[in-house]
Chains A and B, each alone.
Chain A
Amino acid sequence: MNLLAILKNDLRQLTRDIPQLAVLFLMPLAFILPIGFALGGGDGYGLRSDNRRISLPVVSYDSGASAEELRASLEESFMVENWFTAQQIEAAGLAADPDCQTPGPACFERTARRMVGQQQRSALIIIPADFSQRIADGQKTEITLVYDPGGDSTRLMQIEGVLKGAAVKLSVTHSVNAGFDQLQSLSAVAPEEMQTELEDGLNTQPAADQQPAIRLETVQPANYTLKKLPDTFQQTIPGYTVMYVFFLVDYLSGAVRDEKRNGTFKRLLSMPVRPASLLGGKLLAAFVIGMLQVLVMFAIGAAVFGMNLGTQYFALFLLTAALVCAATAIGLAAATVPGLSSGLVPMLIIAALLGGCMFPIDLMPPFLRTLSHLVPHSWALEGFLALIVRGQGLSAVLPQIGVLLAFAAGFFFLAVRRFDFED
């Protein structure tokens, strides 16, 4: 099969082209990783070692098994504090406080609250006395998260995320229905296996109880509301992924240019290779690379940051394939425009900006929003957001898939008409 030989040959050449590999695979990560680490992985997965530097007082009025379990899960992510030294209590100005005359959780709580107020701690967690008992009885209970609203919001998000995750894990291990509501926002932070577990739980106990078993009560001074944990990765990762998939245009047109410059196109045509196989092999190589890009980006998003990919894998696959087809066809078309090479990257960046890959389209003025429909990026991105963030299914993204395929067909048609194996 000549097609496969050509595909293999192109992929092999890519492995020797470190700058090109870097553009296709490392650049998008270079954008995603700092943003990801800055905002923290929702549940701390993959970021544990980093978060251990964060001190988190956990005040427990309960010495039962579940309270211990919760504490243990928090310890995986943070430097959990269970008590303060006399010096710390004195430093907090509570040496003379009535609660602190005997050591115990009450004094610990007071000190911790004081420290949060003085910005020495980001938050504290309070586990009530009947916590383990109520879980054992299958009753609702609650954990309180006390935090400084003026504090470091990214740290808070991490703490809230981890706490949510830990609480739900606890609910699940105790076969308590975690509630649908909880599941939705948890999906942003939980690794996949936990999600499946949760869904199983839901299926066996169909929506008997819509309230989560463990309620997180967040306590804060008035006039401050913490926004719902924004799922940064669900927006950032598809954005940069789409942007860099379109760098295939540069890759493919460059590969065609090289093949002409090397004289290999001409040589191949004097061999028993049909021109269609020749082009087909190159297109297939670009397609495989594009699919790999998306796979790598989403896999890293999911593994490192716990980005939730939703459940619509088939729709996700189709949308990705349509996106990669569009990028590949545009690449082939670009290869037929002489002298385009140096202008290509700026054009790709502008198209990505316009398509909302770097900035949400919603923040753009209306005329730009209209213009954004002219670039395939916006359609691909919209499709990903529908599947990943809104949890919609295949039928919701059929228009996007259709438009991307139309882009692919149009550019392919143009490219084939103009294509020349020489010069």
Chain B
Amino acid sequence: MPTPIVETRSLTYRYGDFLAVKDLSFHIEPGEVFGLLGPNGAGKSTTISMLTCLLPPTSGSAVIAGLDVARSAAEVKQLIGVVPQDLALYPTLSARENLRFFGELFGLRGKPLRDRVESVLEYVGMTERANDPIKSYSGGMKRRINLAVGLIHSPRVLFLDEPTVGVDPQSRNHIFESVERLNREEGMTILYTTHYMEEAERLCRRVAIMDRGEIIALNTPRELIAMLGGGILRIGLPQADPAVAQAVQALPQVRSAAFEPDGVSHKAVLKVETRSANPALLEIIQLFNQQGLEILSMETLEPNLESVFLHLTGKSLRA
């Protein structure tokens, strides 16, 4: 295993009494796209803030390219690029002016600066509108420039905090492609946070699933999904009868069965985790037929990170 380029040991952050990040330990290998997947408030942004020298860890440590983020902040800042979750641009200035300014802060001047500005504009596909003020852009275009600023000094590690929030499909694709190209062509290491599991599945080699400040699973998307085995069934029933849940749970192909807390539809939904979806389905239908129970609806969830999250936490990623 190569030396990790990012490594955290028991990284912890406390806002006053509130423990936002608990005891986080993970590493990212050079050239890896690493995903942090988690619902709102999971602590993703707080983790990134510590890794990018914006928040001093309450305890624990983080090392980037051998440099401690707390002790060698100045050196770390030269190596990393940050694309914050909220846009951070000067709205009255053009994309070029924004990029030039941020580039200057990394010590770029003259022709190298100009070349770099043009190349990142090209990277995010914004060369044509580059002289218009940011405030005249669509949300997606702003996001693309937000990304471009993070790339201006060719960082070794790029931190992307939910870069696709509120983005139209076209800009979203642009961002995906930029991330893939950066990783493939420049070997850039990328930490990517999101609550869209399909993004994590598409882009990330490994994904850490975070909830309430903790990593609850960390693996490749494929392995995480394999954890689920046969996928999940959601069965709509006239009422939530615990006896039914017990009976289903007892079936050989069923791992667990429980009624979902459901406040919206006033329907009882039985969530069934299976060892294998099709045989389990047959067993369940057989059981219901025998007992003369009514099934109102039936849904099979394809095995993906979303269902992994549901499995791990009992709640949906985007509640």
A210 within 8 A of B: no
User: By the criterion CB–CB under 8 Å, are A267 and B84 in contact?
Assistant: yes
Chain A residues contacting B149 (CB-CB under 8 Å) are 267
Contact of A264 among B90, B97, B104 (CB under 8 A): B90
Chain A residues contacting B104 (CB-CB under 8 Å) are 2, 5
User: By the criterion CB–CB under 8 Å, are A5 and B133 in contact?
Assistant: no
Chain B residues contacting A270 (CB-CB under 8 Å) are 52-54, 77, 80, 82, 84
1/0 per residue, CB under 8 A from A, across B210-241: the answer is 00000000000000000000000000000000
* Docked complex: B82-131 residues within 8 A CB-CB of A: 82, 84, 86-93, 97, 101-102, 104-107
Chain A residues contacting B89 (CB-CB under 8 Å) are 262, 264
Chain A residues contacting B86 (CB-CB under 8 Å) are 263
Smallest beta-carbon distance B265→chain A, Å: 39
Chain B residues contacting A263 (CB-CB under 8 Å) are 84, 86-88
Chain B residues contacting A262 (CB-CB under 8 Å) are 87-91
Minimum CB distance partner of A13 in chain B? B92
Task: Pick the most buried of A2, A8, A269: most chain B CB atoms within 10 A of its CB.
Answer: A269
A263 to B88, CA, bound (A): 4
User: By the criterion CB–CB under 8 Å, are B90 and A13 in contact?
Assistant: yes
Chain B residues contacting A268 (CB-CB under 8 Å) are 105
Contact of A13 among B53, B84, B93, B106 (CB under 8 A): B93
A270 to B105, CA, bound (A): 11
Minimum CB distance partner of A273 in chain B? B105
A69 to B113, CA, bound (A): 63
1/0 per residue, CB under 8 A from B, across A267-301: the answer is 11111110000000000000000000000000000
1/0 per residue, CB under 8 A from A, across B63-90: the answer is 0000000000010011010101011111
Chain B residues contacting A227 (CB-CB under 8 Å) are none
User: By the criterion CB–CB under 8 Å, are B106 and A272 in contact?
Assistant: yes
User: By the criterion CB–CB under 8 Å, are A16 and B92 in contact?
Assistant: yes
A272 to B101, CA, bound (A): 13
User: By the criterion CB–CB under 8 Å, are A267 and B97 in contact?
Assistant: no
Smallest beta-carbon distance B259→chain A, Å: 42
User: By the criterion CB–CB under 8 Å, are B105 and A272 in contact?
Assistant: yes
A268 to B84, CA, bound (A): 11
User: By the criterion CB–CB under 8 Å, are B93 and A16 in contact?
Assistant: yes
A181 within 8 A of B: no
A25 to B53, CA, bound (A): 40
Given A5-B101, A16-B133, A266-B54, CB of A271 within 8 Å of CB of B106: yes
Contact of A271 among B87, B93, B102 (CB under 8 A): B102
Minimum CB distance partner of A9 in chain B? B101
User: By the criterion CB–CB under 8 Å, are A267 and B92 in contact?
Assistant: no
B: number of interface residues (CB 8 Å): 26
Chain A residues contacting B92 (CB-CB under 8 Å) are 13, 16-17
A: number of interface residues (CB 8 Å): 19
Given A2-B105, A5-B104, A16-B133, CB of A269 within 8 Å of CB of B88: no
User: By the criterion CB–CB under 8 Å, are B105 and A12 in contact?
Assistant: no
Task: Pick the most buried of A12, A264, A266: most chain B CB atoms within 10 A of its CB.
Answer: A264
A268 to B102, CA, bound (A): 8
User: By the criterion CB–CB under 8 Å, are A267 and B82 in contact?
Assistant: yes
Chain A residues contacting B88 (CB-CB under 8 Å) are 262-264, 266-267
* Docked complex: A56-82 residues within 8 A CB-CB of B: none
Contact of B97 among A2, A12, A273 (CB under 8 A): A12
Smallest beta-carbon distance B165→chain A, Å: 13
A272 to B84, CA, bound (A): 16
Minimum CB distance partner of A277 in chain B? B105
Smallest beta-carbon distance B120→chain A, Å: 15
A269 to B77, CA, bound (A): 9
A120 to B269, CA, bound (A): 100
Smallest beta-carbon distance A206→chain B, Å: 57
* Docked complex: A1-25 residues within 8 A CB-CB of B: 2, 5, 8-9, 12-13, 16-17
Contact of B77 among A13, A17, A272 (CB under 8 A): A272
Given A269-B54, A270-B77, CB of A5 within 8 Å of CB of B105: yes
A269 to B97, CA, bound (A): 19
Chain A residues contacting B53 (CB-CB under 8 Å) are 269-270
Smallest beta-carbon distance A4→chain B, Å: 9
Smallest beta-carbon distance A236→chain B, Å: 33
Chain A residues contacting B133 (CB-CB under 8 Å) are 16
Chain B residues contacting A5 (CB-CB under 8 Å) are 101, 104-105
A13 to B101, CA, bound (A): 12
A263 to B90, CA, bound (A): 9
Contact of B74 among A17, A264, A272 (CB under 8 A): A272
A273 to B84, CA, bound (A): 17
Chain B residues contacting A271 (CB-CB under 8 Å) are 77, 82, 102, 105-106
Chain A residues contacting B106 (CB-CB under 8 Å) are 271-272
Smallest beta-carbon distance B46→chain A, Å: 13
A270 to B77, CA, bound (A): 6
Q: Would you list the 6 A-B pairs with minimal beta carbon distance, nearest first?
A: A263-B88, A267-B88, A16-B92, A5-B104, A270-B82, A272-B77
* Interface residues in chain A, defined as those with a beta carbon under 8 Å from any beta carbon in chain B: 2, 5, 8-9, 12-13, 16-17, 262-264, 266-273
Sampled A-B contacts (20; CB under 8 Å): A2-B104, A9-B101, A12-B97, A16-B93, A16-B133, A262-B91, A263-B87, A264-B88, A264-B89, A266-B54, A266-B88, A267-B88, A270-B54, A270-B80, A270-B82, A271-B82, A271-B106, A272-B77, A272-B105, A272-B106
- Given A5-B105, A8-B101, 7 more A-B residue pairs with CB atoms under 8 Å apart are A12-B93, A263-B87, A263-B88, A264-B88, A270-B53, A271-B105, A272-B78
